[in-house]
Amino acid sequence: MIRIVYIIIGIAVLCISSGAASALERFPPPEFESGYEFPSTTTPHPQQDIYEYIDAIVLLAALSLSAYLVLRKRSRRAIFILMVFSLLYFGFWRKGCVCPIGATQNIVLSIFDNSYTVPAVIVIFFLLPLVFALFFGRVFCAAVCPLGAIQDLVLLRPVSVPSWLESGLRLFAYVYLAAAVLFAATGSAFLICRYDPFVAFFRLNGNLNILIIGTCLLVISVFIGRPYCRFICPYGILLRQLSRLSKWRVTITPDECIQCSLCEDSCPFGAIRKPSINWPATEYESGKKRLAVLLILLPILILFCGWAGSGLKKVMSRMHPTVRLAERIHLEDAGKVEDTTDASLAFRATGKETETLYAEALNIRANFGLGGWFFGGFIGMIIGLKLITVSVWRQRTDYEAGRASCLACGRCFKYCPMEHARLKKIKEATI
């Protein structure tokens, strides 16, 4: 009986409907005799915008407090407490979204895609830490970033990373930044959000692969201080470069350095720069030659990497769902695959022309070709500049916190005897 009804319904449906997805009133709503009234569909509202602005205010307050604690109060304990607060508030309470690291992508997307407008809060989240870096150094990394905080908390047995390895690994962060910008600009994906290793902890739930990556990073963080911040974080790259220029910055001691070398191993992030040896006059000639070679090499590197990046357009454009879909449809139409996917079925149900899809996909691929030049060129430039900076000799007389690398965590303060003298814990600091 039921089967017959279904068959009738099925035939009726086939007769009436042109597309399965369109909603049709196949069965007109009944006119009730019992005075029944249609209930209304509930639409629970999202969190009010006001909370977003509270976030922005908390961010501003935390950044200001962090700058004060790092530069004036000079107290590691206070920085630590603020860091825990940030982890609890921006991490576990606000579930790690929105964060300045990811906001970079929204900014990029809104520049390249006119139909996407970025909410005010995201602009504030992106700009505030950068402005603070320009004035006070990386105070955002020190005590405001929840991703930094969760790694800093588990740093129990710090081992030092040799500086050549540190610089080499840091290249990955530049590549990651370039990739995140490229994929956001082409509207393909938000890479930083998709592979955020710690957000799964903040939400206490998430994709298994990301949870595994996050756990591995946390285990590594026990020994190697803040691996995400140093070798992966794309926003950290922006903060690094701006904090090079910062008006005020972390000093191991505000007084004169007595070169006691006590602070030398205090930094778990390898950010303390030792006093340089004297001018290596004997190497002057060869150094000059090397620098000249590197300067000539720089544009060649940029062009070569740009060319290579643009050559990757076929692979990279697959990150975009439209390109993936077009390739799939092409395979199916060419008879190279037998089965179908949800996406290809959904596309065919819309009744769109395959040609328009192909045109769209080719357009996106062309964008990747152009973007690839910038992507590769940027990486080439970074490699070239890195080679140049290691060849340039810089004079340094005191122990200093590296302008770019210092995360302003405040660990080195208490290692300095001058600091103890300043706080009147000892009478006088001598070597």
Partner 1 sequence: MSENKENINRRHFLKDGLWATCLAGLAGLGGFFLGKIKKNNTVWQIDPYICVACGNCATYCVLEDSAVKCVQVYEMCGYCDICTGYLEPEANPPDTGAEKELCPTGALKREFVEDPYFEYNVDESLCNGCGKCVKGCTIFGNGSLFLQVRHDRCLNCNECSIAAACPSGAFKRVPANEPYLLKKVDHA
How many whole angstroms separate alpha carbon 7 and alpha carbon 10?
5
Residue 262 CB, nearest distance to partner 1 (Å)? 29
Q: Which two structure tokens, joined as six digits, stand for 6? A: 């279904």
Amino acid occupying residue 218: L
Nearer to partner 1, 182 or 418 (CB): 182
Torsion of CA 352, 354, 357, 361, to 10 degrees: 170
Q: How far apart are the first and last CA of the chain?
A: 99
Count CB neighbours of 265 within 10 A.
13
For residue 144, is the peptide bond before it cis, meaning its omega torsion is within 30 degrees of 0?
no
How many whole angstroms separate alpha carbon 187 and alpha carbon 72?
43
Residue 253 Cα to chain centre, angstroms: 32
Q: Between the CA of residue 304 and those of 208, 301, 415, what are the distances in Å?
A: 38, 5, 46
Residue 324 CB, nearest distance to partner 1 (Å)? 10
Phi–psi pair at 137, nearest 5 degrees: 85, -165
Residue 142 CB, nearest distance to partner 1 (Å)? 20
Residue 320 CB, nearest distance to partner 1 (Å)? 11
Nearer to partner 1, 94 or 313 (CB): 94
Residue 425 CB, nearest distance to partner 1 (Å)? 35
Please work out, in degrees rounded to the nearest 5, the angle formed at the alpha carbon of residue 330 by the alpha carbons of 325 and 333.
Answer: 125
Q: Which two structure tokens, joined as six digits, stand for 12? A: 């009726």
Q: Which two structure tokens, joined as six digits, stand for 410? A: 């405040």
Nearer to partner 1, 48 or 282 (CB): 48
> Do residues 137 and 243 make contact, with C-beta atoms less than 8 angstroms apart?
yes
Nearer to partner 1, 13 or 292 (CB): 13
Where does 392-429 have alpha helices with state H? 417-422
Nearer to partner 1, 5 or 431 (CB): 5
Residue 337 CB, nearest distance to partner 1 (Å)? 16
Is residue 273 classed as helix, strand or coil in its secondary structure? strand
Residue 38 CB, nearest distance to partner 1 (Å)? 4
Residue 375 CB, nearest distance to partner 1 (Å)? 20
Residue 154 CB, nearest distance to partner 1 (Å)? 23
Find where tokens 């000639």 sit.
285
User: Which pairing describes strands 272-273 and 400-401: parallel, antiparallel, or unpaired?
Assistant: antiparallel
Nearer to partner 1, 192 or 301 (CB): 192
> Do residues 357 and 347 make contact, with C-beta atoms less than 8 angstroms apart?
yes
Amino acid occupying residue 321: P
Nearer to partner 1, 352 or 425 (CB): 352
Q: Is 206 left (phi over 0), alpha (psi -120 to 50) or beta?
A: left
Residue 345 CB, nearest distance to partner 1 (Å)? 7
Closest CA to 232 of 255, 260, 213: 213
